[in-house]
Structure 1
Amino acid sequence: MQMLQVDLPANIRPATRRDWRQLGDITAEAFAEDPFNLWLFGRPRALRPLFRMMARDIYLKHGFCHIADDRGATMWATHESDLRLPPLMLLQLILAQQVHGSKGAMKRGMAAGKTMAEHHPREPHVYLFTVGTRKAARGKGLGKAMLSPVLASADKAGLPVYLENTNPVNDGFYRSLGFERRGEFRVDETAPLVTTMWREAQARP
């Protein structure tokens, strides 16, 4: 897997396998009001087990993650990363959603995963799965501070960056970092719109 050499500021560090719970908890808090994730799972409490498992079994193993104290977290991958759910994790997710999610949550989640995979670009790129901050850390520039070092590294490597924007209020934030709208999709007619965004590698002075 092609790994980026990322120069992080002092207040942000690479996450390790021991950080999977904290990564998941920060991300769950950040996405608690996200319309797409609320449609998927019905209840904010269902997000914590989901993002904990995604951190532990996918992005810490096959991608890379960053954490800023207990204030912010990101999960990344490259086009070469294996993002398929391991069978044991899938079973754990099913059990967790039966307890914490609403009726049909796992069925919607599986359909969403299939649709997202169908729209995922095939060309070389860096993939931003999640960026999020605790509520108390919002509006202080932490999200941009966490993304900027990876974007700079992607630029240096000549790699574009891809993400799925599941909340329209974040559109301006991503555009300010150089992302442009690539496309959109809905999992089904009841689902909120998801916008795919793409950022070409940019020349650095």
Structure 2
Amino acid sequence: MDPATIRLGDSLTRARPSGAGAIAAITADAFREDPFNRWLFGSFSGMAGVFGALARHVYVPRGFSYLLDDAGAAMWMLPGGDSEPPLAALPGLYASVIFKSSWGARRRTDATVAAMARHRPTFDHAYLFTIGLRPHAQGKGHGRKLIQPVLDACDRAGLPAYLENSNPANRGFYRSCGFERVAMIEVMPGAPPLEAMLRAPGGKLP
């Protein structure tokens, strides 16, 4: 999928490298009360640090990330993109997990990364890493504005889209966008629900 085929429209702006901090800040604020990420990191600063490192080193420079003013953000990896963190990202990631998160976060993150990798589709797809709105912007229809441009591009290209839903409260929204559960990801005993969801081109699975 050529990023040039994604039509963001007037209300969305693709993030440049200088905008990675804004992407990370909005995402962390949006995920502040997310049950899975609260369990995973045990602290807001740890979660924010990980989102910051991944935005700066992976999803802004290599993926397709964009902003809805200062209210919303989305980070995608398009087919053929590399979501493996480079060496430059590791100090920030390790510092956030080991020093800014609660005890046991390293074990939880390692288990989560491995479990997610086992369920990630092997066929070409657009991967939605995060989508989120600051609390004051939620419930106003902005989520559809954020997600729809890439879904439309997937439909034009005949490509599926995939995500891991970390909050059961968001299942209805994703289903309204055409995503369906394909698996529950078992990270470890006691972990909150993490749901693998796939959207076929056109929004309907066979």
Secondary structure of the corresponding residue to residue 99 of structure 2: helix
Displacement, 1:40? 0.8
SS at match of 1:18: helix
Matches of 2:125 and 2:93 in 1, distance apart? 28
Task: Give the unaligned 5+ runs of structure 1.
Answer: none
**Alpha-carbon contact 1:2-1:80 (below 8 Å) kept:** no
Which residue is equivalent to 2:139?
139
Q: Give me the whole-angstrom Cα distance separating, in 1, the residues matched to 2:200 and 2:28.
A: 29
1:81 equivalenced with 2:81 (yes/no): yes
| 1:1-205 matched pairs, under 5 angstroms | 2-3=2-3, 5-202=5-202
Asked whether the 8 Å contact 1:186–1:192 carries over to 2, the reply is: no
Percent identical among aligned pairs is 41
How big is the shift at 1:106?
Answer: 2.0
What is the deviation of 1:34? 0.9
Runs of 4+ in 1 over 2 A off after TM superposition: 1-4, 96-99
The question of whether the paired residues in 1 share the 8 Å contact of 2:163 and 2:196 is answered with yes
Aligned length: 203
Contact 2:49 2:92 in 1 (8 A): no
Q: CA deviation at 1:186?
A: 1.8
Q: 1:100 is paired with a residue of what secondary structure? A: coil
TM-score for both structures, normalised by structure 2? 0.94
* Unaligned segments of structure 2, at least 5 residues: none
Could you list the per-position Cα deviations for residues 110-164 of structure 1 after superposition, in whole angstroms to 9, with x for gaps in the alignment? 2211111111000111111100011111111111111111111110000011000
What is the rounded CA distance, in whole Å, between the counterparts of 1:82 and 1:119 in structure 2? Answer: 17
Write the distance in 2 (CA, Å) between the matches of 1:89 and 1:190. 29
Structure 1 CA distance for aligned equivalents of residues 9 and 84 of structure 2: 31
Kindly indicate whether the alpha-carbon contact (under 8 Å) linking 1:62 and 1:82 is maintained by their aligned counterparts in 2. yes
Per-residue deviation at 1:4? 5.7
Query: With structure 1 as the length reference, what TM-score do the two structures score?
Result: 0.94
